[in-house]
Structure 1
C-alpha cells in the first residue's frame, strides 16, 4: 500500500467516524419507508435517496423494471480505470403480524445502541452504509483513478427479477468487482453461496365422503405425506465436492464451529430440504383430491437441480401415487469468488484494517443476488451489518456500531481496490 493510499484511507475512515450521526440518521430514515415486497413499491424510498445523493453532487439514473420497481444507478470517480460496484436492495420482507413486534417495525427507532425496524439487518443497514460511503467519498473530493458505481435495486426478497439480473441483462452495470452490502458476520464476508432448487409437488387423489375414508376415495394429503418423507431423503444423497472448493468449505466449517451452531457444519456438503408450504382439501368431511407442497432445496458444489429432481422422481415413483413436479422460484448452482481475487482481498484486508482483528471469507448456506454478478463474470462478495438472529424475524434490529464499522470498511475498500489492487 502506498503512503498516499494509506493517507486517503485514514482520512476517509476518520470522516465516517466524524459524520457517524449523519449515517445513523440516514439508516433510521430508510427504515421508516415501508418498502415491503410484496407488494413492492420502491418509488417513495427511491425519491428520498435521489435527493440525498444530489446534496453531495451525485446524479442518479432511474430505470423502471416494473411498475414502481425503480433501479437507481449513481457514479463517482473517473471512467477509464477499473470499475467497482457497490450494490444494495431497498425492498424488505413483509413485517407480518404487528402484534408480535415489541416496537413499530417502521419506526426507525434508535435506542440503546440499536437501530430498530424491518430491514435493519436485511439490508437497510448495509444499504445506508454503501450510499453514505459513496456520498462521503464524493464530498471529500478524493480523486479515485477509476469508477465507483452505486447500484440500488428494488427487488431481491421475491427473487430479484426486477433488480440485479434486469440491470445486468441490459448492460446497465459492468465492473471489475462488486460488493453487495448483504448481512454477514463482522469479520467474515461471504465469498460464495449454495445453489437452489425450488419445486412444487402436486399430488392428485380422488374425492369421496369423509365418513367412508379410508375405504373410499384416494386421499391426496395422505399420499403427499408419504411423498414428503421420501423427498426429505435428499439430505442423504451423496455429493462429490470438487477439489478446488474444499479449502473454502473447510474454512467455513471452522467458522461455524467457532461462531455459530456446530450442528450446521455439514450443511456446506449436503443438499438441504425445507418443506415450506402444504395446502390441500376443502372440508374435514371430504376426502381431498388435491394437495400441493412447496419445497426449498439448497445445493452444495457438485449437486445440480437435475440431481435433486431425478432423485425425487425415483423416490416418488416407488409410491405408486399420482403426482406432478414443477420447478419455480430460485434456481441456481453453487458459486463463489476465490479468496485471492482483488475484490475479496480489498474487503477482507480492510475489515482487518478497520477492526484490528483477523478477517477471512466464508461460504454462505443460502443463495443471493451474488450469483447473477458471477454469471456475468463480475467477481463479488457480500459484507454488511447484521444481527443475524433477527433477519426476517419479528423485532429486527442492527447495532449502530456495526453499521458504522461497515461504512468504514466500504470507504477503505473502495480506495484500496481502485487505487492499488490490480484487475
Structure 2
C-alpha cells in the first residue's frame, strides 16, 4: 500500500467516524427553506458560514442579487493545482403540501432515508462537499494544491446570479471541478445536451365567434399548426460527431444495464426533444382569438447548433404563412462534455470504484446544469452526488443515508488524488 492509498484509507475511516456530524449537517440544511423562487439564501448561507468557521476556514461572501449569496472558501495553498467543489443552496418549491407524506422541511431520518425538499437535489451533495472540506481542514491534511468550495444560489431557475456570476468576475477558477448534483451511485455525468427554450407568439384577427372560421383569423388554430411543425424537430436525423460517439454508446449501455427503466429513452441522446410546456391564448369562447403564446423546451444533442435550429424553425413556420415571432428565454446552451480521460473525471470515477469496489464510468445526461458554465470557461467538470432519482423535484423527496456517506468518501479521496497528480 502506497502513502496516498494509506491516506485515503485513513480519510474513509474518518468519514465513518464522523458520519453522524455529516447526517446532522445535511438534516439542518434541509430544515432551512431556501425555495427558489424567491431564492432568498440568507439563512442557509449564514448557517454554512458558521459551520466553516468552526475549523477556521476562511471565505468570501458575495451578494450577487438581493438576498442571493455566493460563498467561496478554500483550503490548501496556491502552489499546485486547484480543484473546485460546487453546490447550490436553492431548491424548487414544494407544491401541494397535502401530497407530501411528511413535512418537506423536516430533515428527518427514517428507515435509512433522509427526508425533505432538497434531499436529493441537492442538499445531500452540498452537505457532502462542505463536510469533506471541513474534515480535511480539521485533520490538518497537508494538500499540495487548493480545494475550493463554490456555494451558489439561483440554480433551480437557471438564473445568472450563481456560477455564471462568479465565473464572469473571475472569482472562481480551477483546473477541474466537481458539482455535487444528483447522479446514480456508479455513474457521474460528464456530458449534457444543449438547451433551447423559446416562446412562440402567434397573432390573429379578432371577430365574433359565431362567424368562425369565415371571419377573422384564429391565432390558436394557427398556433396548433405551428406546434405540429415544431414537433417534427424530433424526426430530424442528427449526425453525432465522432469524438462524442463513445460517450453516447456508454450512456446507452448505462440505460440498458443500470437504470433499466430508462431503456425506452435511449433515443433522446441523439434527438432534438420537444416539450410543449404552456399555451395561453384568446379572451373568451365566443371571441376569435387574436393571440396565442406557446412556450417550448427543446434539448439539443451533439451535432446541431442553436443557429441551425433557429433557421429550421423559421423555414417551417414561414411556410405556414402565419403571423408569428419567436423569443428565446430560460436555459440556453449547446451540448457539452468533458473527456472521460480528463484528470478530474478520472479522479472521481477511480475513487467511486475505490470506495465501492465496483466498476464506475461517466455517462451523459439529457438535461442541463451549471456544468455548462464551467465548460464555457475551459474548466473541466463533471457531476456526482447522492440521490434517489425518482424523487427529484417531486413530492416526498428523499435520499438514502448510505448514499450521502458514500459520496462524502468519494469527495474526500478524489480531492487527494486530483491534487497530488502531477
> Smaller-chain TM-score range?
over 0.9
Query: Which segment is superposed worse, 40-49 or 274-283?
Result: 274-283
Q: What are the residue-to-residue correspondences of 1:232-311 with 2, within 5 Å?
A: 232-260=231-259, 261-311=262-312
* CA–CA distance in structure 1, aligned partners of residues 395 and 209 of structure 2: 39
* CA–CA distance in structure 1, aligned partners of residues 129 and 76 of structure 2: 15
RMSD: 1.0
Q: Give 1:117 deviation, angstroms.
A: 1.1
* CA–CA distance in structure 2, aligned partners of residues 99 and 213 of structure 1: 43
* Equivalent residue, structure 2, for 1:321: 322
* CA–CA distance in structure 2, aligned partners of residues 339 and 150 of structure 1: 23
* CA–CA distance in structure 1, aligned partners of residues 121 and 370 of structure 2: 13
Query: Which segment is superposed worse, 315-324 or 121-130?
Result: 315-324
Q: What are the residue-to-residue correspondences of 1:173-212 with 2, within 5 Å?
A: 173-212=172-211
Q: Give 1:176 deviation, angstroms.
A: 0.6
* Equivalent residue, structure 2, for 1:161: 160
* CA–CA distance in structure 2, aligned partners of residues 55 and 64 of structure 1: 22
* CA–CA distance in structure 2, aligned partners of residues 179 and 358 of structure 1: 19
* CA–CA distance in structure 2, aligned partners of residues 93 and 305 of structure 1: 27
* CA–CA distance in structure 2, aligned partners of residues 108 and 255 of structure 1: 31
* CA–CA distance in structure 1, aligned partners of residues 27 and 182 of structure 2: 17
Q: Give 1:18 deviation, angstroms.
A: 1.0
* CA–CA distance in structure 2, aligned partners of residues 290 and 72 of structure 1: 45
Q: Give 1:233 deviation, angstroms.
A: 0.4
Query: Which segment is superposed worse, 68-77 or 95-104?
Result: 95-104
* Equivalent residue, structure 1, for 2:10: 11
Q: Name structure 1 gaps, 5 residues minimum.
A: none
* Equivalent residue, structure 2, for 1:418: 419
Q: Name structure 2 gaps, 5 residues minimum.
A: none
Number of corresponding residues: 420
* CA–CA distance in structure 2, aligned partners of residues 219 and 173 of structure 1: 51
Deviations 1:58-113 (A, max 9, x none): 12210111111110011101212110000000011111121221111111111111
* Equivalent residue, structure 2, for 1:400: 401
* Equivalent residue, structure 2, for 1:377: 378
Q: Give 1:285 deviation, angstroms.
A: 2.0
Deviations 1:359-389 (A, max 9, x none): 0001111111111111111110000011111
* CA–CA distance in structure 2, aligned partners of residues 379 and 371 of structure 1: 10
Q: Give 1:217 deviation, angstroms.
A: 2.1
* Equivalent residue, structure 1, for 2:77: 78
* Equivalent residue, structure 2, for 1:151: 150
TM-score (norm 1): 0.97
- Give the conservation status (yes or no) of the 8 Å contact 1:8–1:142: no
Determine if the alignment matches structure 1 residue 119 to structure 2 residue 118: yes
* Equivalent residue, structure 1, for 2:138: 139
Q: Give 1:228 deviation, angstroms.
A: 0.8
